[in-house]
Amino acid sequence: MLEPSGLYYPNRFAYYFFVAMHDVLGVSALKDILELAGLMTFLNGGPPDNLERQFDFAYMAAINHALQTVYGARGGRGVALRIGRSWFDSGMHHFGALAAMNSAPVLALPLERRTYLGLSTLAALFNHYSDQQTRLTVRDGAYHFQVANSPLAWQQRSDKPVCHALAGLVQGTLHWSSGGYEYHVHEQSCRAAGAAACVFVANQKPIGQR
């Protein structure tokens, strides 16, 4: 396992992530991933469901590296994307202001306003409750969800982006806040590949709309 980073997610964010891994991988595969990551202590139940900042970014990086090792670069990407979407569906959509995205006043807003609100709320939650520095900008008809210190890329080196679970989380947020539309999300740059920050890009318009 990697050396501690001194940067943390609240246990609750990690708890939701473990629920997502369980749902996508199943018990046997999850055990293999945690064993490879050196995190077997979390096999039975995962982190506690509280807001204490105790889940080190190095743990997330170790899990991400284990996924790529077990499933390969391509397979690991697909699995991590599914985990990211399930991460949102398994709990993040109930957290804080994200829970209000399904309320009548928000649903009455124009589509692009709803999706901007969803992503900006997600960024604000990370900034407030965790050590992940996140911001949202809009440029050339696309959302740019920028993470200055992605836990998934912590101390990682790769020739390609590696933060697929965060891309899945962004995708899940757009699906939820849009009322069910699908969006293509790609990681344009990644710290693991030498960039200054990890940037996830999604068109403001969903797939199939012009």
Distance CA 117, CA 163 (A): 22
The whole-number pLDDT of residue 47 equals 95
Distance CA 144, CA 119 (A): 10
| Average pLDDT of the segment spanning 14-38 | 96
Residue 38 neighbours by CB under 8 Å, 6+ apart = 1, 62
pLDDT above 70 for 1 = no
Strand order in the sheet with 198-203: 134-139, 142-147, 198-203, 185-189
Distance CA 7, CA 151 (A): 8
Q: What is the pTM of this model?
A: 0.94
CATH of the domain spanning 103-203, picked from 3.30.1380.20, 3.40.50.920, 2.40.37.10, 1.10.3720.10: 3.30.1380.20
33-87 pLDDT, tens digit each: 999 999 999 988 889 999 999 999 999 999 999 999 999 988 999 999 999 999 9
- Residue 75 burial (CB count, 10 A): 12
pLDDT grade, residue 183 (50/70/90)? very high
The whole-number pLDDT of residue 104 equals 79
Sign of dihedral through CA atoms 22, 25, 29, 35?
negative
Enumerate the domain spans of the chain. Answer: 8-89, 103-203
Residue 159 neighbours by CB under 8 Å, 6+ apart = 193
| Average pLDDT of the segment spanning 16-27 | 96
Structure tokens at 77: 């990407």
